[in-house]
Amino acid sequence: MFGMLQPTRLSPLRRLGVRYVNDLTVQRGRHGSTPMIQHGPPGRSAVSGHTVTVFGCTGFLGKYVVQQIARKGTQVVVPYRDEDEKRPLRVMGDLGQIVPLEWDAKNLDQIRECVRRSDTVYNLVGRDYETRNFSYRNVNATVAGNIARICREEGVPRLIHVSHLNASADSPSAFYRTKHNGEEIVRREFPEATIVRPGPMYGHEDWFLNDMAQWPIKYALNGSRTRTMPVHVVDVAEALSKMLDAPKTSIGSTFVLPGPEVFTYDELLNLVSFFTMRPRRSLPPIPGFVASMFASVVNRLLWFPTVAPDEITRKFIDDAGAKLDQAIAALKAKNYPEGWSKDFDTATYDVNGRLVKSWADLDIQPARLQDHAVKYLRIYRSSENAETPLEVGSFKPPRPYKVVR
């Protein structure tokens, strides 16, 4: 009888519906263990078993993060502030996988409703200018602390909090100080939280390359000598997506994610001029206190955000050096690399004094800005140069069009 039993052979189509032992992931939280069963073919039509809440989903980084995790078959709760923010959020996910919920950052009950069914929460909320309703401390520290505390009370297993590369307790910028304060509060309320410090991000709809092409005078401050390490927003979104599936690597860790190269504002202005095919304008040197006074007056006269006084302060601050291995070697040798900030404590250690992690821990090689900038700067070319391709060392002249009658 037993010799007559034959192993069951499944067709490739039927094999897709079979669940195996390795399809089961157990998420351990404060209220017990929750099984997450994966099934379906790989892609957005599958079910990953995760339910994720992304605060700040309608922001620049948030749209890419939701896109990355939704295409895996993850159910994503997307809190939005009003109808105007809900409408432009278009992500890749099947019906029922994207769950919009209205929320107010000051309403704790709405925050609780957004997170109570999730096994992972992303906090991408942040704003680099103040409004009459929200100060830097409100957005970067108070809201972050409320989200972390409610996640702990609701038994959410994982929290991923996005800060900034230059977060520092003694920074001259209020934005960077409150970002550091937010990290401290999140660590106190949710000790196992993952903290991420990305550098200045560029991409479609960014406030970096587009701002540099439209308002180059802001980047002429400090003689355009300020050093920065811009990073592609898609790489940051990929890193945040990987942290969802790598709990051993990310839980309780702090990740510093700068760009792979150091640029001065002068070099970036030259790069913008090259890709837009517009000559770089000669800009007069403006003292910092004059620019701050102008920004203060403009912010009081106009109802819409233009340039904040704290943004002027940030234009004089170099990005913290954050290549972990070289930073540690430089600390030991007391020899700071050229082009790096000397504030290595910010770049190398988290708020608890532990060493931070970087791209290598996530097996990601960040892209170079030169390889992608043309996609975002081509729109600033004149009509006659709009389709002109780029050649190394020179421009290829546009091919004349012929009209066939």
pLDDT bin (cut points 50, 70, 90) of residue 3 is very low
Considering only residues 19 and 219, tell me which one the structure prediction assigns the higher pLDDT: 219
* pLDDT(128) > 50: yes
Per-residue model confidence (pLDDT) at position 234 = 95
What is d(CA 305, CA 402) in angstroms, rounded to the nearest whole number?
A: 46
**pLDDT at 130 (0 to 100):** 85
Report the pLDDT value the prediction gives residue 4, as an integer from 0 to 100.
43
Please compute the mean of the pLDDT values over residues 108-137 and round it to a whole number.
Answer: 90
Q: Where are the alpha helices (DSSP H) in 48-165?
A: 60-70, 83-86, 108-115, 136-137, 143-153
At 319 the pLDDT is 87
Higher pLDDT, 324 or 112: 112
The Cα–Cα gap between 245 and 389 comes to 40
Q: What integer pLDDT is reported at residue 64 of this predicted model? A: 93
pLDDT in tens, 22-72: 555 555 555 455 556 555 555 555 666 678 999 998 889 999 999 889 888
Least confident of 5-14, 266-275, 319-328: 5-14
d(CA 348, CA 155): 30
What DSSP line would sit under 194-228, residue for residue? Answer: EEEEE--EESTT-SSHHHHHH-GGGGGGGGG--EE
Flag whether pLDDT at 245 surpasses 70.
Answer: yes
Q: Grade residue 114 by pLDDT with cuts at 50, 70 and 90.
A: very high
pLDDT of 16: 46
Q: How far apart are the first and last CA of the chain?
A: 84
Give the number of other Cβ atoms within 10 Å of residue 335's Cβ. 8
> How far, in Å, CA of 402 to CA of 405, rounded?
10
Q: Which of 166, 181, 134, 306 is nearest to 231 (CA)?
A: 166
Task: For residue range 325-366, list pLDDT tens digits in order.
Answer: 455 455 455 554 444 444 444 456 677 777 888 888 898 889
User: Which one is predicted more confidently, 101 or 387?
Assistant: 101
Q: What is the mean pLDDT of residues 314-332?
A: 65
Task: Please tell me the least confidently modeled range out of 73-82, 132-141, 173-182, 263-272.
Answer: 73-82
The reported pLDDT for the residue numbered 140 is 94
Alpha carbon 376 to its chain centroid, in Å, reads 17
Q: What is the mean pLDDT of the chain?
A: 79
Tokens found for residue 168: 């520092």
Task: Reply yes or no on whether the pLDDT at 397 is more than 80.
Answer: no
Q: Bridge partners of 355?
A: 349
> Percent of the chain, pLDDT > 90?
38
Residue 250 near residue 243, CB atoms below 8 Å = yes
> Does residue 12 or residue 167 have the better pLDDT?
167
What are the tokens at 394?
């020179």
pLDDT of residue 195: 95
Which pairs with CB-CB distance under 8 Å and at least 24 residues apart come from 165-169?
A: 165/197, 165/198, 165/199, 165/200, 165/229, 165/256, 165/257, 165/258, 165/319, 165/320, 165/322, 165/347, 166/314, 166/317, 166/319, 166/320, 166/346, 167/197, 167/346, 168/320, 168/343, 168/346
Q: Are 179 and 164 in contact (CB under 8 A)?
A: yes
Q: Binning pLDDT at 50, 70 and 90, where does residue 2 land?
A: very low
pLDDT of residue 247 exceeding 90, the answer is no
**6: helix, strand or coil:** coil
pLDDT of 1 > 80? The answer is: no
Half-sphere exposure of 171 (CA within 13 A, CB side): 29
172: amino acid identity, one letter? P
Local confidence band at 6 (pLDDT 50, 70, 90 cut-offs): very low
Domains of the chain: 25-204+230-257 (3.40.50.720)
At 203-218, the pLDDT tens digits run 998 989 999 999 998 9
H-helix or E-strand spanning residue 286: none
Strand partners, 27: 34
Tokens of 232: 């592609």
